[in-house]
Amino acid sequence: MAGVFLPRVYAQAKPVAVIPFELLNGSIVLKVKINDYPRPLRLLFDTGADGMAVDKLLADSIGLKISRSHEATVVGGSMKIDVSQGNTITLEKGFQLKNQGIAIFPQMSKDVDGLIGNKMTQDYVVKVDFNRAELSLYSFDNYEQEKGSTVIPFTIPEGLFIIPGIINVVKGQSHRGNFVFDTGANYNLICFRPFVRQNKLLVSGFKSEYQTSTVSMGVNSPTFNGNSDSFSFANTPPLQNMPVTLMAGGGQNESWNPGFDGSIGMGIISRYNFIIHRKKQEIYLTPNHSYNYPFDFKLGIYIFRFNLKGQLEVQGLIAPETQDTLARGTIITRINDVDVSLFLKDAKYLDGLKNVAPHSIIRVEYLKGNKKETLSLPK
């Protein structure tokens, strides 16, 4: 995964605001206040959305006034939503974003209170530093690319940042597409149904490891998940043997046409510190300390991923919950008596685990509070 990143001379700019963020299950969460509502809210920073959104129950509690209604596109389909205009958003340290629109959806993720989209990039250069867990805002004036970063050009149809990419689902079969730079997607890469159908990706020799579904604002779409041969986007080196999610047919998505081919998600994005310069239509990427971490992998009914602290955690489930289910975000300390820190130091340990015979029993040691407990599960 190593690549060459060419430096450019730049002038050091000073931020107008530096906002700390929380990393929740690999996603960027900002603490904000809306208007005079007293409770601080936790909103997902989602560049795959062009505005802010909360669900109806929270909107009623805040007292948001409906300005208009319209049809909104979500992953896999569309729905009618209400919009409240003219709101004031206060980030930590008192920095305010004024005259903001907020979309009101019937339901949203239960992990956070809503999402804050990419609107702030219209007024500021936005920098996300995962090493410091900080989001910084800069004036556009004289801001230059940071030393050692790679330039990723993008277009902005429909208010989203679209990047060209090449996916080889299987070796020797390259497919060019246009993908959203999407910090709200908890995947590495998801290919949407029209792109999957057009290029016959599910019948191209792709080996699915498991089936699940993606849910966006209540719209559910089935997916097939497995490893691709490689994926590259814009000026970045190819990512080899990378997990990919392919959207299957079902419900609204057979007639859904978003105008782009998928989303580059946090499984890839979080490997870089990044800067979005909307006026230049450029994203600047600098590999951070997690760049060479292994990709997420499946064991039993669980998907595991290394977080930015180098800890192995439960990323999600691929089967209905049972009484022994590990909660999302649970920290794993050992697997089959091997300390998980060794997975980062030497690929042979993780490769050995992946090559364990099917239906073998895997022993997983995990943290529950301050105690270590062990769970046995079939591979």
Asked whether residue 60 carries a pLDDT value surpassing 50, the answer given is yes
The rounded distance, in Å, linking the Cα atoms of 358 and 272 is: 34
pLDDT of residue 354: 83
For residue 348, what is the domain's CATH number?
2.30.42.10
Q: What is the identity of the amino acid at 3?
A: G
Helices (H), the chain: 56-62, 193-198, 266-269, 341-345, 347-354
Shared domain for 62 and 99, answered yes or no, is yes
Residue 257 lies in a domain: yes
Give the model's confidence band at 76: pLDDT under 50 very low, under 70 low, under 90 confident, else very high.
Answer: low
Residue 301 lies in a domain: no
Shared domain for 176 and 212, answered yes or no, is yes
Q: Which residues contact 362 (CB under 8 A, 6 or more apart)?
A: 299, 300, 335, 336, 353, 356, 376, 377, 378, 379
Q: Which residues contact 234 (CB under 8 A, 6 or more apart)?
A: 150, 151, 152, 153, 154, 163, 164, 165
- Asked if residue 193 lies in contact with residue 275, where contact means CB atoms within 8 angstroms, the answer is no
Residue 194 lies in a domain: yes
Helices (H), 221-374: 266-269, 341-345, 347-354
For residue 34, what is the domain's CATH number?
2.40.70.10
pLDDT of residue 190: 95
Shared domain for 215 and 237, answered yes or no, is yes
Q: Which residue has the higher pLDDT, 277 or 75?
A: 277
**Residue whose token pair is 């409240």:** 84
Asked whether residue 331 carries a pLDDT value surpassing 70, the answer given is yes
Asked whether residue 50 carries a pLDDT value surpassing 90, the answer given is no
The rounded distance, in Å, linking the Cα atoms of 93 and 134 is: 12
**Range of 158's domain?**
150-272
- What would the mean pLDDT of 198-222 be, rounded to a whole number? 82
Shared domain for 128 and 159, answered yes or no, is no
Domain C-terminal end among 91, 118, 138: 138
Shared domain for 173 and 233, answered yes or no, is yes
Shared domain for 128 and 156, answered yes or no, is no
Shared domain for 134 and 163, answered yes or no, is no
Residue 77 lies in a domain: yes
Residue 288 lies in a domain: no
Integer-rounded Cα Rg, in Å, for the chain is: 21
Domain C-terminal end among 96, 114, 138: 138
H or E element, residue 126 = strand 125-129
Q: What is the pTM of this model?
A: 0.89
- Asked if residue 204 lies in contact with residue 173, where contact means CB atoms within 8 angstroms, the answer is yes
Summarised one tens digit per residue, pLDDT across range 336-348 is 999 999 999 999 9
pLDDT of residue 9: 43
Residue 1 lies in a domain: no
pLDDT of residue 378: 83
Residue 330 lies in a domain: yes
Dig out the tokens for 355 from the structure: 């090559």
Shared domain for 30 and 121, answered yes or no, is yes
Q: Which residues contact 13 (CB under 8 A, 6 or more apart)?
A: 125, 138, 139, 142, 143, 144
Asked whether residue 107 carries a pLDDT value surpassing 90, the answer given is no
Q: Which residues contact 193 (CB under 8 A, 6 or more apart)?
A: 76, 221, 247, 248, 249, 253, 254, 256
Summarised one tens digit per residue, pLDDT across range 173-205 is 999 999 999 999 989 999 999 999 999 999 989
pLDDT of residue 6: 47
CB contact burial 284-298 (16+ within 10 A = b; e otherwise): bbbbbebeebbbbbb
Shared domain for 188 and 263, answered yes or no, is yes
CA-nearest of 135, 120, 162, 126 to 23 is 135
Shared domain for 61 and 120, answered yes or no, is yes
> What is the sign of the dihedral through the CA atoms of 16, 91, 119 and 8?
positive
Asked whether residue 26 carries a pLDDT value surpassing 70, the answer given is yes
Shared domain for 268 and 333, answered yes or no, is no
Q: Which residue has the higher pLDDT, 305 or 221?
A: 305
The rounded distance, in Å, linking the Cα atoms of 288 and 292 is: 9
Number of CB atoms found within 10 A of residue 200's CB: 12
Residue 312 lies in a domain: no
Shared domain for 130 and 161, answered yes or no, is no
The total domain count for the chain is 3
Domain C-terminal end among 239, 272, 305: 272
